[in-house]
Chains A and B, each alone.
Chain A
Amino acid sequence: MVTNVTTITSFGRSGLYDWMIQRATAVVLLVYTLFILGYVFFNPDMDYLQWRALFDQTWVRVFSLLALLSVGAHAWIGLWSVSTDYIKPTGPRFLFQVICGTAMFAFLVWGVQVLWGL
């Protein structure tokens, strides 16, 4: 049952919005994963200059930022559904969500720093 505490911790205003964002971010991450895994797979002996040059291109940085934000939204919605399914008592569930949120924030800031702090 979705109580007010559950609703305010969800990502979007409605379940349908979450459902859509989940799919949208999934497609972004699908393309990004194939891009990166493909690049590393087909460039086994790439050197630092080539790897650095890849991420010096603005479109790769923007795409990586989009993927990073997508991971945040995708993971939040996913973990929110998991936590509301399995952690029934409000206190521990909220603690779990705060921990996930903080970790996500840390990864996001760290990721942006890597992409633009170079």
Chain B
Amino acid sequence: MLFAFDLSLESQQGFDAVVDMFENSFFAKLITWGLVSCLLYHLFAGVKHLIMDCGYCEELESGTLAAKVTLGAGVAAVILSGVWVW
């Protein structure tokens, strides 16, 4: 991703190369989709932890609910980023 970032800022040609890569290269799409999905899931789980640090969702019921919400958001992220990338 850093490679794409570096290339995209380097020059007009670099930028076009990156755009082309994201549109046509199966490999780049797979990596991007995987990375974005993992990042978003990690992000949601992290937010859940921050919430728990504030003292919420620490009992059995609320904790389980928070976990399910996080998983749900994660699944949604995989699907949405998939639609976005493909």
Residues in A lying within 8 Å of B, measured CB to CB: 23, 26-27, 30, 33, 37, 41, 47-48, 51-52, 55, 107, 110-111, 113-114, 118
Taking a contact as CB atoms under 8 Å apart, the answer to whether A48 and B12 are in contact is yes
Residues in B lying within 8 Å of A, measured CB to CB: 2, 5-6, 8-12, 15-16, 36, 39, 43, 46-47, 49-50, 53, 84
Taking a contact as CB atoms under 8 Å apart, the answer to whether B46 and A48 are in contact is no
Taking a contact as CB atoms under 8 Å apart, the answer to whether A30 and B9 are in contact is no
Residues in chain B near residue A113, CB distance under 8 A: 6
Taking a contact as CB atoms under 8 Å apart, the answer to whether B43 and A51 are in contact is no
Question: What is the chain B residue whose CB lies nearest that of A26?
Answer: B46
Question: What is the chain A residue whose CB lies nearest that of B8?
Answer: A51
Taking a contact as CB atoms under 8 Å apart, the answer to whether B50 and A55 are in contact is no
CB B79 to nearest CB in A, in angstroms, measures 15
Residues in chain A near residue B43, CB distance under 8 A: 30, 33
In the assembly, what is the distance between CA of A33 and CA of B84, in Å? 16
Residues in chain A near residue B11, CB distance under 8 A: 48
In the assembly, what is the distance between CA of A72 and CA of B43, in Å? 16
B2's partner among A30, A55, A114 (CB-CB below 8 A) is A114
Residues in chain A near residue B5, CB distance under 8 A: 114
Taking a contact as CB atoms under 8 Å apart, the answer to whether B9 and A55 are in contact is yes
Question: What is the chain B residue whose CB lies nearest that of A106?
Answer: B2
Taking a contact as CB atoms under 8 Å apart, the answer to whether B50 and A110 are in contact is no
Residues in chain A near residue B8, CB distance under 8 A: 48, 51
Taking a contact as CB atoms under 8 Å apart, the answer to whether A23 and B50 are in contact is yes
Question: What is the chain A residue whose CB lies nearest that of B84?
Answer: A41
